[in-house]
Structure 1
Amino acid sequence: MKKSISSKRVDFLQSLEDFRGYSDLTIKSYDEAIKEALEYVEILEEEKSTTMNLMPYRIKISHLNPKTISKKLSAIRTFVKFLNGNGMKISLKADESIKVPKTLPKPISHKHILQALEHASFYEKLVVTILYTLGLRISELSSLKLKDISDEWVRVLGKGNKHRDVPLLHSTKELIDKYMSDNCPKIFLFEANDERLSENSLRYTVNKVFKRVGLKVTPHQLRHSYATALLNSNAPIADVSELLGHSTMATTQIYTKLGSALKQQNYNKAHPLCGDEQC
């Protein structure tokens, strides 16, 4: 039965790309979790259904941090849901969720972003500026097409193949226009050998820019910076949620907690009674 289940893995991964619009990196993580799980799960076959016991696998990965375990189990649940939707009857055993502590995202301050841009080449400045002023995921930047860029808006293809329109600053548009004039891309804004530039290449560019000023920064942190800046300037959370392409507003609310944490830190530094001993 494991062979039969494993044979559906490729179809499942293809569905993640075709119907959910997942990035190559995300699909790879799903694939690794499923292959690993199938080595350890116990398959119990009955007359009309099959049970997949996750306990042996959960024991195997129990040393990992809760967030990693949760992601692996989520990948398996999604895979089993796919199998059930394609004619198989599989139930999960030992599928209890685990509590994952919510960590606040770590945005980069506007000051540090400007500092990094002072030492960036034109191309590097464009990549960082787009991520910071549009709040894109790295996969969305990699797949950004010329036809989706207008004078004032950018149409973004996000998760689940859902489109959203994000306002384009005039200063960012000027950088894009100069880059297009100098490089003449054909389909995608960023290309290599007539194909879209890989996410890893764009990610490396961001890492390199901030490394020069002694910071370790990921593209996703620039997305956090975008969201936090908008919310701290009193942008409505519903608007920010839509601009980020979040499926629910609950995902965006973590940034409001971050804003409160920053306000608390600033208050502790500023109030005359909040010395080190009192606060």
Structure 2
Amino acid sequence: MKKLISSKRVEFLQSLEDFRGYSDLTIKSYDEAIKEALDNVEIIEEDNATTINLMPYRIKISQLNPKTISKKLSAIRTFVKFLNDNNMKIFLKADESIKVAKTLPKPISHKHIIEALEHAEFYEKLVVTMLYTLGLRISELSSIRLNDISDKWVRVLGKGNKHRDVPLLHITKVLIDEYLSNNCPKIFLFEVNDERLSENSLRYTVNKVFKRVGLKVTPHQLRHSYATALLNGSAPIADVSELLGHSSMATTQIYTKLGSALKQQNYNKAHPLCGDEQC
């Protein structure tokens, strides 16, 4: 079974590049974590199912810092999900998460987003614009139905099956109307063969748009850009939290830290007494 699992590794790594747009460095780190884990885990086969016991591997990497351990375990979880999605019945044991310090998200600058949109085809422009102007998760974009869209609002189905209403900018509504005039979706905004377009397909579209301008960008980074832009524009944090569909305002507060960091950087660049070596 270990040989069979290992043989799927190349296919999995290719999917990270094709559908998620991961960088070569990230893919390499996934590959190293998976190979390292397979050399140390215990694999148990019983009752037509396979269990991978991570405990021996966790003991081996226990001296690493929590963030590194978390990344390695995340790579393994993603790989196992891929295996299960490809008809392999595999369970993980000793898969408990560990707490790591929160890091600041990495938004994409407005300038780079506009540059990418200038090189985008119409459908691609609509996908990127909706993510950037509505602050959506990729799963939420995939789930938007035609009857969720009004002239000024979009009703979004978020985590925990909770709905929220997000303001629809005029520029985004114009793109949606033009898209609908040239396409005939029946239920969902984005469909293929009368079925909802997959998250991976939408994610690939975003990756492709930004790759043309030499950037590696994920849909979630556009959500970060949306949140950061609102907070830097003095939008109340409670409103931003609601628009993002956060269950707790504490989750949104990480963006305020990012805003402060950016303001400090801009101040250092702008003030005449702040040379590179002084500030």
* TM-score over 0.5 (shorter chain): yes
Tell whether the 8 Å contact from 1:106 to 1:221 is kept in structure 2 after alignment: yes
Equivalence for 1:179: 179
- Residues 23-54 of structure 1, C-alpha deviation per residue, up to 9 Å, x if partnerless? xx9xxxxxx9xxx9xx7599xxxxxxxxxx98
Match for residue 65 of structure 1?
A: 68
Aligned equivalents of 2:214, 2:56: Cα separation in 1: 44
In 2, are the aligned partners of 1:70 and 1:98 still within 8 Å (CA)?
no
Structure 2 alignment gaps of length 5 or more:
1-19, 21-33, 45-52, 79-92
Paired residues, what number? 217
Change (3 A) 1:183 1:58: same
1:224 aligns with 2:224: yes
Superposed, 1:27-106 pairs within 5 Å as: 40=42, 56=56, 58-59=58-59, 62=62, 65-68=68-71, 98-106=98-106
Instruction: Report deviation, 1:273.
Output: 1.0
Question: What TM-score, normalized by structure 2, do the two folds share?
Answer: 0.70
Residue in 2 that maps onto 1:196: 196
Q: Superposition pairs for residues 104-123 of structure 1, below 5 Å?
A: 104-123=104-123
Per-residue displacement from partner, 1:213-255 (whole Å, max 9, x unpaired)? 1111110000000000000000000100000001100110000
After the TM superposition, which residues 237-276 of structure 1 pair with which residues of structure 2 at under 5 Å, given as runs? 237-276=237-276
More RCO (CA 8 Å, sep 6+): 2
Q: Cα gap change, 1:190/1:94 in structure 2, threshold over 3 Å: closer, same or farther?
A: closer
Percent sequence identity over aligned pairs: 81
**Alpha-carbon distance between aligned partners in 2 of 1:150 and 1:125, rounded to the nearest angstrom:** 20
Structure 2 CA distance, aligned partners of 1:255 and 1:70?
26
Residue 162 of structure 1 is matched in structure 2 by 162
Larger deviation, residues 169-178 vs 56-65: 56-65
Could you say what secondary structure the match of 1:65 adopts?
helix
CA distance in 2, matches of 1:225, 1:253: 14
Aligned residue type for 1:67: S
Contact 2:61–2:69 (CA<8 Å) still a contact in 1?
no
What do the CA deviations read for 1:148-189 (whole angstroms, capped 9, x no partner)?
111111010011111111000111011101101101100100
- Measure, in 2, the Cα distance between the counterparts of 1:57 and 1:115: 44
Does structure 1 conserve the Cα–Cα contact (< 8 Å) formed by 2:127 and 2:202? yes
State the Cα distance separating 1:71 from its structure 2 match: 5.9
Aligned CA-pair RMSD? 2.9
Contact 2:241-2:248 at 8 Å conserved across structures = yes
Alpha-carbon distance in 2 for matches of 1:55, 1:208 = 38
